[in-house]
Amino acid sequence: MTQSSSRHAHLLSVVLPTLNGSRFIRSSIESCLTQTYEQFELIVVDGGSTDGTRAIVEGISDPRVRLVSQPGNADSLPGALNVGFGNARGEYYTWTQDDDLYAPDAFAVLVAGLENHPEAGMVYAGQVFIDDDGKELRAANHFWPEDLVWTNPIGQCFMYRRTVAQAVGLYDARFVMAEDAHYWMRIHRRSKIVRLPGHYFYHRLHEQSLTGRDYGAYAALRVAAQARREVLGLPPRDFRRQVAAAYVEEGFAAYGRREFDHVRRCLRRAALRQPRCLAKREAVLLWTRSLAQTARARVARKSRS
């Protein structure tokens, strides 16, 4: 007898937001449909795709899959989550993205985690990063819930109770790019969060993901710092330090892309937040290398003219 065939199995609601996700969404949905825990509904929330995404979802005949619309992609990802969970019927909640994958026993492990820890409102397990082709790259850091004060330890492999969601409320559209971390902080203030061993999720890294394009990952760090200030009362000095660190990291990324003007903009913004950050050796090196690269580029342009 499978876990889902038990008459005591809890219905799990899985929300999958998408917007022009035709490249990977079929495999993402299939990773849900092949779960060993079968008592779930998958609510796909489409924000107005024009690339055939809706046709892919509509072509899946499994009755557990439902497609709902998010008019005009209102409020972006937080809005899609609110639409999805507004249509949810389950006792347990989770959500995923249209380019990520679950290990086959992920739902079973997370449901068991909630059942084995009745005092917990939320549980989470580890994840592995994969590339465009699904090749495993490395395991993500698997920190403790208390580390929410400086990072997002939860990742993408999580589950929480409907009762917790009702107490915490909606996802907040003010925190796009860090709406998840903001929500986990709000849960953490109300309920116990339990870290489970093992890795049961595959998070895809590629240039077209929300964090992969337009320096989204570093914008997310800054928004997450704002969330910590609001929810956890992060002291002003620590807030400025986290924001400055995010700008320095973005500067390194810009240097790798040879966008030297952007490097200097990032370092200036970091200095405004935390002047001490520029005293660090790595920031000084980044600044001087960027200036040197710009000077060499100017000399090269003059020699060609």
Average pLDDT, the chain: 89
Mean pLDDT of all residues in 255-282: 80
Quote the pTM value: 0.86
DSSP collapsed to 3 states, the chain: CCHHHCCCCCCEEEEEEECCCCCCHHHHHHHHHCCCCCCEEEEEEECCCCCCHHHHHHCCCCCCEEEEECHHHCCHHHHHHHHHHHCCCCCEEEECCCCCEECCCHHHHHHHHHHHCCCEEEEEEEEEEECCCCCEEEECCCCCHHHHHCCCCCCCCEEEEHHHHHHHCCCCHHHCCCHHHHHHHHHHHHCEEEEEEEEEEEEECCCCCCCCCCCHHHHHHHHHHHHHHHHHCCCHHHHHHHHHHHHHHHHHHHHHCCCHHHHHHHHHHHHHHCHHHHHCHHHHHHHHHHHHHHHHHHHHHHHHC
pLDDT tens, 187-241?
999 999 999 999 999 999 866 655 445 567 888 899 999 999 999 999 999 999 8
CATH code matching the domain that covers 3-204, chosen among 3.40.50.2300, 1.10.287.70, 3.40.630.10, 3.90.550.10: 3.90.550.10
Q: Domain coordinates of the chain in residue numbers?
A: 3-204, 235-304
Mean pLDDT of all residues in 137-162: 95
pLDDT tens, 109-128?
999 999 999 999 999 999 99
